Structure 1
Amino acid sequence: MSTNNLLSSLALVLLLLPLKVSLAVDKVSSGSLDTIDNFNSKFIKDRRVQVWKPDGYNTSTKYAVLYMHDGQMLFDAANTWNKQEWGVDETASQLIADGTTRPFIVVAIDNGDKLRHSEYFPQAPFESLTDADKQRIYQAARDNGTQVFSQAVISDKYLKFLVYELKPYIDKNYSVATDRANTFIMGSSMGGLISAYALMEYPSIFGGAACLSTHWPGIFSMENNPIPLAFYQYLDGHLPKPESHKLYFDHGDQTLDAMYPQLQQEVDKIMAKHGYSEDNWMTRTYPGKNHSENAWRERLDVPLIFLLATSNTDN
């Protein structure tokens, strides 16, 4: 194989691998980051947690809290596998400074590398599948032939880590409002799935979830795929009351996002069925946008304003 072909093949493999854990120190252009290199957990593998605080952070203010998945990808493109980032510090700082949103901090949780799919795949919908479907899904592979799952689904343990270990730590060590109306969760792709699942499993903890480019297929093929139906049935039975919760969904229509429009339409029907309206639910479509941090960065202000607008003091 020629050097150019080898490099091209390597680049393709890297694109299809789970997001990697970065050992480098992330830098932000506004606000500040507190870094816990190895947050200890009895539920999941220890990992880095970063807490972003806006400029002017002080203990006389009670800040809302936004928990975000895939923490490696949020702040510093110099340290990410694809040299892209969400630009969370820039967008959040601007919105807070303008008074568009209430003051908030961001708790960024690194993914578990090869464990990412197992930790982010909603467990209750998975457990509702037949044994034959479960085994078939566990054998699912990416386009490069690597297995999607490195072990069994453990998202319930991941949520226990968030709710019973990480949130108490944040509540104790930072000047934050601890109630549901000031506690939110956000992610993209599989991170979108786990964000919606967190809201439904712990409706007394999270007042809102933002799910960007939500990966409703669960795996990377729609052929004989029972997963979306399992998600629909779970949503139908577990959506919390719209009066006290907010849900944001979006998607593009390029690359992996091309799988989502029809699936999201079915989710939207369930949202409407349960009384969600523009006051507490938003689904946005972004034509021409793909499945990438650059795309999510461009529209990050939309879900942040939806969840954290200054006027939204009661979810």
Structure 2
Amino acid sequence: MNRLLSSLILIALSCHCLADDPIPVVNKGSIERIEPFKSTLINSRYIDVWLPPGYSQNSKYDVLYMHDGRMLFDANITWNKQEWMVDEVAGSLIEQKKVRPFIVVAIPNAVKNRHSEFFPQQPFEQLSKQQQAQMYQLDKSADLPLFNTKVYSDRYLEFIVTDIVPFIEANYSVNKGGKHRYLAGSSMGGLISWYGLLQYPNEFAGAICMSTHWPGIFTDNKPIFDAFKAYIEKHLPALSTQKIYFDYGDQTLDAMYPKLQTQIDAVFNQQQYPKSQWQSLFFEGENHSEQAWSKRLHIPLEFIFAQ
């Protein structure tokens, strides 16, 4: 339990945001910040657009929409001095022609509202009113609730689909249409990535879900996981050619995931989802951190964007 508590504290810290977030410095490619990016659906925020080495208006690029955008590029400006190393990993794969070219749209989380924004809304609403009320009473820390407001992840996904996607496709040299768009995230970002794919199967071609936070909160809670599993069982038949990637370790917060991911894998197997279109990989000894995800990021990127 102490290890889980430590992980909870770390995740709480990961949501901290400076008043004026600096633009990340990248080693490969370049960053363009769109600020403010206004929306009537959720609180306005900036977005960062990573353009790969050699980006050209004469070429067309697929698009990877990534959650928790502050943690992706520059360890010098993150709370824990870690990063996903997206620019280095993706840039190298593109330069080596191991993947087709793509850009990354980095969407920062909602800080104190992160849990409410990323928790899959329809499964949440399938819980009993008593279970929902109990979850709203949970605290992230002594003076900060886990859910700072009601769950609104459906509006967050709508924000991506109806606000961000049209902007990107109007202002950047990208391939248009759902067959060229993908979602990616870790932990709670992993939850919202598979949920977004199942909510909008015609708008996205795949999802990367690393260290997916299947418990939903920070203790074992069977009703929550059962609601996630039931939603996937019901909506997986809506997918056809989409790719989906899961992975997990077994240290720190990831210690909660192996037994749960195994049950999700069973759903994919039972429904005979084509093995060429999904992966679920276990990384023994790996923990719940940007450092761990950066070490294996090349695997889902090659799976999703293979030439």
TM-score grouping bracket, smaller chain normalisation: over 0.9
Aligned-pair CA distance for 1:13: 5.1
Distance, in Å, in 2 between the alignment partners of 1:214 and 1:13 is 18
> Percent identity of the aligned residues?
49
User: What does the per-residue CA deviation read over 1:55-90, in whole Å, with 9 as the maximum and x for residues that have no partner?
Assistant: 111111110000000000000001000000000000
Separation in 1 of the partners of 2:225 and 2:47? Answer: 31
The corresponding residue for 1:313 is none
Gap change, CA 1:142 and 1:28, over 3 Å in 2: same
Deviation at 1:180, TM superposition (A): 2.0
Q: Which amino acid aligns with 2:12?
A: L
Distance 1:172 1:264 in 2: 38
- TM (normalized to structure 1)? 0.92
CA RMSD, 1 decimal: 1.8
Give the deviation of 1:277 after TM superposition: 3.1
Structure 1 contact 18–114 (Cα < 8 Å) conserved = no
Q: Is the 8 A contact 2:73 2:85 kept in 1?
A: yes
The answer as to 2:163 corresponding to 1:130 is: no
Aligned counterpart in structure 2 of residue 49 of structure 1, from 47, 50, 56: 47
1:16 aligns with 2:8: no
Q: Deviations over 1:244-263 (max 9, x none)?
A: 11110000000000000000
Distance 1:181 1:13, change over 3 A: closer
The Cα of 1:243 is off from its aligned counterpart by: 3.5
Which of 194, 214, 217 lines up with 2:215 in the alignment? 217
Instruction: For residues 123-158 of structure 1, give each alpha carbon's deviation from its aligned partner in whole angstroms, at most 9, with x where no partner exists.
Output: 000011100010011112336674211000000000
Match of 2:261 in 1: 264
Aligned partner of 1:5 in structure 2 is: none
5+ long unaligned stretches in structure 2: 1-6
Matched, 1:275 2:272: yes
2:200 alignment counterpart: 202
Q: Distance in 2 between matches of 1:106 and 1:218?
A: 26
- The question of whether the paired residues in 2 share the 8 Å contact of 1:34 and 1:52 is answered with yes
Q: Hey, what's the Cα distance between the residues in 1 that align with 2:48 and 2:143?
A: 33
1:226 corresponds to 2:223: yes
Q: Is the 8 A contact 1:242 1:280 kept in 2?
A: no
**Matched residue of 2:204: which SS?**
coil
Shift, 1:17, TM fit = 3.3
Preserved contact between residue 14 and residue 80 of structure 2 (Cα < 8 Å) = no
User: Would the aligned equivalents of 1:209 and 1:246 in 2 still touch at CA under 8 Å?
Assistant: yes
TM-score by length of 2: 0.94
Distance 2:168 2:29 in 1: 17
CA contact (8 A) 1:18 1:116 kept: no
Task: Report how many aligned residue pairs link the two structures.
Answer: 300
1:291 to 288, 300, 303: 288
- Give the partner amino acid of 1:100: K
2:233 to 224, 232, 236: 236
4+ runs deviating over 4 angstroms = 11-15
When residues 12 and 233 of structure 1 are mapped into structure 2, their CA distance, relative to the original with a 3 A threshold, is closer
Equivalent residue number for residue 36 of structure 2: 38
State the distance in 2 between where 1:272 and 1:178 align: 31
User: Can you list the C-alpha shifts for 1:256-315, whole angstroms capped at 9, x where unaligned?
Assistant: 0000000001100111122223310000000000000000000000010111111xxxxx
Which residue of 2 is the match for residue 4 of structure 1? none
1:169 pairs, out of 167, 170, 182, with: 167
Q: Within 5 A, what are the aligned runs for 1:157-196? A: 157-196=155-194
2: distance between equivalents of 1:139 and 1:273? 36
Cα distance in 1, alignment partners of residues 119 and 80 from structure 2: 23
Give the letter aligned to residue 256 of structure 1.
Answer: L
Q: For 2:276, what is the secondary structure of its paired residue?
A: coil
Could you tell me which residue of structure 2 aligns to residue 139 of structure 1? 137
- Please state how far the C-alpha of 1:240 moved relative to its aligned partner: 4.4
> Structure 1 stretches of 5 or more lacking a match?
1-10, 311-315
Q: What is the distance in 1 between the residues matched to 2:231 and 2:8?
A: 35
Amino acid at match of 2:15: L
Letter of the aligned partner of 1:289 in structure 2? E
Match of 2:301 in 1: 304
SS in 2 for 1:287: coil
